[in-house]
Amino acid sequence: MTQTTHPNATRNVTLLVLAQAILGAQMPIIFTIGGLAGQSLASNLCFATLPITLIVLGSMITATPLSAFMQRYGRRAGFAVGAFGGALGGVIGAWGLYQASFPIFLLGSFLTGIYMSAQGFYRFAAADTASDEFRPKAISYVMAGGLASAIIGPQLVKLTSDAYVIPFLGSYIAVIALNVVGSLLFVFLDIPKPEAPTETSSKGRTRWELLTTPRIAVSVICAMVSYALMNLVMTSTPLAVVGCGFESDTAADVVTAHVLAMFAPSFFTGHLIARFGVERIVAAGLLILTGAGAVALQGVELENFFIALILLGLGWNFGFIGATTMLASAHEPNERGRMQGMNDLIVFGGVTVASLSSGGLMNCSGGTAVEGWNAVNMAMAPFLMLAGGSLIWLMLRPKDQLA
């Protein structure tokens, strides 16, 4: 598949970087305080991370219809819908905190998933107007916008979490503001809608044909495992840090370091993919995720948390951006809505299971925070073996059998 660069490709990437920075700041906010807020509202501590699970579930459920919506009405309209979902989720989440109602808070979390789903398509939107050569760099630059969100989000938590008598209420008000301001960026986005299929034009491969294409299948598996394991560990991190005797501000600092590690490498990940090949970068990401789990299992000193979460972020960056690049080059424009929605349905389905499992492993698999934290990190092993095995299988296949 060969494609030339659209005249506004650079502008589109710049706008998507800004969207990732501004709108994306709500995700580290919510992932930092969601479990802690849930812990204060839930009657059973095993459900402390259920708000984060509902966010990911909302993202999973809305991925396919939102992708189809973008295929028909364009990226601009789809991203506006995502920002509206984020703002509405913030309003209802704030109301749930005000009423001390866990069910209302969960509803707000679910609606926030609409934004999370839309944010997931920023990376694909960057590839829409990019040439084959520019594509991995465009995806990487957009993901790099998360570097700013990694700074903005946790700092807003520190400024707003205790701004009102009700803990974390101010943080959800900040989430509303981020969605309103960030949505204005999409007015200037210029990504042409895919041409509507005609009776004589190719409709592309079926969903089953796409999923059974070796390169697509492996990219989906590696993206799912990279994202799910990152979410599994990150969701439990604030609970583990506070449970091991540190302050909530310290937990925010650990999350900041983690999110910085998620996005800072994006300035050069695309260049590494272009130089060494996407399969090697994905493999490096999986190895680094393995290292993150190993460090976390060595102890619960503050340095262990920082090093493990930094490695977790770096491994996610290589694994997820690499898998996204692999997928973006393996399907045609007329297959975009079908394949990208299906990909994110599967990816966030895995993330939903990981998020739900995170709270149970952390709070209900032992009598102490240390035992729970160890259980979370040991759970990474079988999934890393699945992704690593599939990638090795792909790399050993003859080149003419990859399509």
State the average pLDDT over residues 82-103. Answer: 93
Cα(122)–Cα(139) distance, integer angstroms? 8
Task: Go through 350-378 and write b for each residue having 16 or more CB atoms within 10 A of its CB, e for each that does not.
Answer: bbbbbbbbbbbbbbebeeebeebbbbbbe
- The candidate with the shortest Cα–Cα distance to 167, out of 217, 77, 105, is 105
Mean pLDDT of the chain: 86
Cβ atoms of 235 and 369 closer than 8 Å:
no
Q: For residue 253, is pLDDT > 70?
A: yes
Task: Give residues with Cβ within 8 angstroms of 106, minimum separation 6.
Answer: 50, 51, 54, 96
Q: For residue 172, is pLDDT > 50?
A: yes
One-letter amino acid for residue 53 of the chain: T
Q: For residue 402, is pLDDT > 70?
A: no
Residue 253: count of CB within 10 angstroms of its CB: 18
Band (233; pLDDT cuts 50, 70, 90): very high
Distance of CA 330 to the CA centre of its chain: 21
State the average pLDDT over residues 154-182. Answer: 88
Count, residues in the chain: 403
Task: Go through 178-206 and write b for each residue having 16 or more CB atoms within 10 A of its CB, e for each that does not.
Answer: bbeebbebbeebebeebeeeeeeeeebbe
Band (81; pLDDT cuts 50, 70, 90): very high
What confidence tens digit (pLDDT) does each residue in 29-53 have? Answer: 888 788 788 878 877 777 777 888 8
pTM above 0.85, yes or no: no
Backbone φ and ψ for 162, nearest 5 degrees, come out as -115, 20
Give the pLDDT confidence score for residue 130 in this predicted structure: 79
Give the pLDDT confidence score for residue 105 in this predicted structure: 92
Q: For residue 314, is pLDDT > 80?
A: yes
Give the pLDDT confidence score for residue 2 in this predicted structure: 42
- The candidate with the shortest Cα–Cα distance to 88, out of 49, 118, 60, is 118
Where is pLDDT greater, at 238 or 81?
A: 81
Rounded (10°) angle between helices 26-41 and 50-73 = 140
State the average pLDDT over residues 69-75. Answer: 89
Six token digits for residue 12 = 């589109």
First CA to last CA distance, the chain: 11
What confidence tens digit (pLDDT) does each residue in 331-386 have? Answer: 777 777 778 788 888 888 888 788 778 877 887 777 788 999 999 999 999 999 99
What CATH code would you report for 9-190+206-401?
1.20.1250.20
Give the pLDDT confidence score for residue 197 in this predicted structure: 58
In the three-class reduction of DSSP (H, G, I as helix; E, B as strand; rest coil), residue 49 is classed as coil
Rg for the chain, CA atoms, rounded: 20
Give the pLDDT confidence score for residue 199 in this predicted structure: 57
Where is pLDDT greater, at 184 or 250?
A: 184
State the average pLDDT over residues 166-182. Answer: 92
Give the pLDDT confidence score for residue 351 in this predicted structure: 82
Q: What does the DSSP assignment read for 226-282?
A: HHHHHHHHHHHHHHHHHHTT--HHHHHHHHHHHHHHHHTTHHHHHHHHHHH-HHHHH
Cβ atoms of 292 and 111 closer than 8 Å:
no
**What are the CA-CA distances from residue 203 to residues 158, 234, 334 (Å)?**
50, 40, 7
What confidence tens digit (pLDDT) does each residue in 103-126 have? Answer: 999 999 999 999 999 998 898 888
Q: For residue 3, is pLDDT > 60?
A: no
**What are the CA-CA distances from residue 282 to residues 48, 192, 223 (Å)?**
32, 30, 9
Give the pLDDT confidence score for residue 123 in this predicted structure: 82
Give the pLDDT confidence score for residue 4 in this predicted structure: 47
Where is pLDDT greater, at 175 or 135?
A: 175
State the average pLDDT over residues 177-194. Answer: 90
Band (153; pLDDT cuts 50, 70, 90): confident
Give the pLDDT confidence score for residue 16 in this predicted structure: 93
Where is pLDDT greater, at 336 or 403?
A: 336
